[in-house]
Structure 1
């Protein structure tokens, strides 16, 4: 009789278990850490979740998401979405404000506000980001060079060290790697250049299209001068992992990337372990440090057949416990302020203490003001910038054309 009861209880437990799917990114250790977090949740909840990997390019991932959501597919229950997508994808996601009300107050209010569209919390913050400058501290010490504050300093130091290292036989050494492919990553890089020169944010918070100005022209012209000089010609096809590959193999002095790269450079099999420093992204001589705000959120599809279970998965993955684990294992920046005072987190990521200041003043891409049209705005921006970087267009001409394009996208009215 007792055996029968045990079998019955097991059968009843299994009958209530469900299998859902979550999409995770493919950059760095994203998929690995996502699977680990999901596995912990599975043991605690009794449910199962399959992890679906997606394209590394955020632009390609958005296009895939739009196709899936337009089809109202139930194949994916939880979507990992970029910080600039809530306004684009909002109609397809569940309002998380009430079911996760107890957890919402733990997170940075600015990110919660970013994820709130028409009063509905479209997604929960998972990890946040801001662009940073990685540098080879051993090489700066070797050549007695300071950590660069300005773009001109960075360019000069990069050129000097690259030249000297090549003379010493390292013919693959470059000065600076970054994300130059025509995709969302280039928008992030270029916005940092433009804003640090005082050239605005492409479209301002009042809806004004501001990109066609002299400061922006100077910034883009400066960046174009790097290609084939301190940056490899192939940088025009680099995304995050391409830039990291060159830097982590020991073939670059500086790199612009996201904080997740830190843990990878410090891995036991990294050729540059212990030789890397992190600093703010440089500025123009008279400008300010400008780091583009990044980060990813978790949203629950309205078309999920197990929305309550999907919400529970989001509850765990965005919790303080899981965010701390991810910070320790992969240098992913928490969206919970208290974790930036955690001794274990700071020991594993010494630059996190300084990064809080960067996060508080990071530049938001103009996704809020442009709403559902942001993807068109960003694509127009990075495509025109790419033309300049590739030497096919002058910066002043490209920015004038871009301004006209954006005017057409806005239809001459408020966004």
Structure 2
């Protein structure tokens, strides 16, 4: 959901898959209608188009396809609410949507329940995509969703404040982050500026931030066998960082309500030294209208316990609804959106990192978005969320126990032990 991966919520991370073999091929979902070659107007269910770039791409499509026009339907900004709306639509086999934009982690659920259709190889050249992004559109070895947006979390930091404090480079560790904030706080310019914030409201973004903390402490939420590992010393060290940071003010108390946009606004208004978010923030914070930090910030990989941290691989994919009456048009529209010319156009108009691999080495793109090499470096070490049909239950369980820990309702050891038991139950079911 780097990128603002998930509508506005995002976005997104655990580790490896929770064995799908136990889930069955279609998880008992409703049988989907047979694929069709219907053509006609389509509706595209997607997140809020903050930059209005998608509307321009749609207008170009509509000009070339007057009898097959596409209409954008914006879903709720909150990722959980957006998913709920899509699920309700699919459960009643509604043809209200033809193309659906899915958070990368929803692909398995929608494919297993036969709510989206396998895509033919002619939709796009899969060799053009970032490999990790392509995997998020796969279910049981077949492609069900074309990767569109991808990325991982990065650290935004105030270059002007660090310079005033004599800090030469962005922090690579949590200790360095705290030390930099302490030095900034002693400067006149740093008075009243909070240290650091990510996303800590009780939603998908908290799952992402917790998972990144665990990974950045050398742990993993699930191991390669699909077993939860949240009560290991490393995993508990990641949770302890969040708890301590909330307690000592490294993360301001108000950040307990932060989703992507709340944190982005705080950073853009000059109220944070450091901020963990997705790539979409770059263009907005760089805008001269309304941004107090334009020209005063840069981007680095997120820090970790003993060195650079590990982010979560986020992203949005495009799929064809199994209940669409105009699936041929829907497939053609997806081909258009993910094609290299359109991705190039989209990439130059906004700062969402895209799935086309060539864009990360494009000199013109790097000139426009200098953070791209940093993003690519972060993506190389980022870990995906699990490809699991019951992911939403896994994420909700994590949110419950992590919230209890960071709000001081449970000590870290207790929260970790109870989370381990709960996730084990989900994994075994």
SS of residue in 1 equivalent to 2:105: coil
Equivalent in the alignment of 1:186: 206
Q: Assess if the C-alpha contact under 8 Å between 2:212 and 2:311 holds in 1.
A: yes
Q: Assess if the C-alpha contact under 8 Å between 2:172 and 2:308 holds in 1.
A: no
1:410, distance to aligned residue in structure 2 (A) = 2.2
| Pairing 1:219–2:235 present | no
Equivalent in the alignment of 1:401: 418
Q: Assess if the C-alpha contact under 8 Å between 1:24 and 1:34 holds in 2.
A: no
Structure 1, gaps ≥5 residues long: 1-15
* TM alignment of 1:106-117, pairs within 5 A: 106-117=128-139
- Residues in 2 aligned to 1:168 and 1:127: alpha-carbon distance in whole angstroms: 37
Q: Assess if the C-alpha contact under 8 Å between 1:78 and 1:310 holds in 2.
A: yes
Q: Assess if the C-alpha contact under 8 Å between 2:133 and 2:315 holds in 1.
A: no
Equivalent in the alignment of 1:383: 400
Return the match for 1:297 from 314, 317, 320: 317
Q: Assess if the C-alpha contact under 8 Å between 1:263 and 1:329 holds in 2.
A: no
Distance 1:393 1:28, change over 3 A: farther
- Residues in 2 aligned to 1:375 and 1:27: alpha-carbon distance in whole angstroms: 24
Higher relative contact order (CA 8 A, sep 6+): 2
Equivalent in the alignment of 2:30: none
Structure 2, gaps ≥5 residues long: 1-37
- Residues in 1 aligned to 2:390 and 2:125: alpha-carbon distance in whole angstroms: 30
Deviations 1:306-344 (A, max 9, x none): 111111111111111222222222111121111122222
Equivalent in the alignment of 1:26: 48
Distance 1:164 1:326, change over 3 A: farther
Name the TM-score, length of structure 1 as normaliser. Answer: 0.89
Distance 1:168 1:209, change over 3 A: closer
Which structure has the bigger radius of gyration?
Answer: 1
1:227, distance to aligned residue in structure 2 (A) = 2.2
1:185, distance to aligned residue in structure 2 (A) = 0.9
Equivalent in the alignment of 1:69: 90
Q: Assess if the C-alpha contact under 8 Å between 1:135 and 1:277 holds in 2.
A: yes
Equivalent in the alignment of 2:283: 263
| Pairing 1:79–2:100 present | yes
Q: Assess if the C-alpha contact under 8 Å between 1:300 and 1:310 holds in 2.
A: yes
1:27, distance to aligned residue in structure 2 (A) = 7.2
Count of matched residue positions in the alignment of Structure 1 and Structure 2: 386
Distance 1:215 1:354, change over 3 A: same
- Residues in 1 aligned to 2:219 and 2:198: alpha-carbon distance in whole angstroms: 20
- Residues in 1 aligned to 2:42 and 2:182: alpha-carbon distance in whole angstroms: 51
Q: Assess if the C-alpha contact under 8 Å between 1:27 and 1:56 holds in 2.
A: no
Deviations 1:181-200 (A, max 9, x none): 11111111111111111121
- Residues in 1 aligned to 2:152 and 2:375: alpha-carbon distance in whole angstroms: 8
Q: Assess if the C-alpha contact under 8 Å between 1:197 and 1:288 holds in 2.
A: no
1:169, distance to aligned residue in structure 2 (A) = 8.5
Equivalent in the alignment of 1:60: 81
Name the TM-score, length of structure 2 as normaliser. Answer: 0.86
Deviates more, 1:237-246 or 1:206-215: 206-215
Equivalent in the alignment of 1:232: 252
| Pairing 1:127–2:149 present | yes
Equivalent in the alignment of 2:33: none
SS of residue in 2 equivalent to 1:93: coil
Deviations 1:240-296 (A, max 9, x none): 0000000001111000000111111111212211111100000112x5520110011
Higher helix share: 1
Q: Assess if the C-alpha contact under 8 Å between 2:217 and 2:234 holds in 1.
A: yes
Deviates more, 1:143-152 or 1:32-41: 32-41
1:53, distance to aligned residue in structure 2 (A) = 1.1
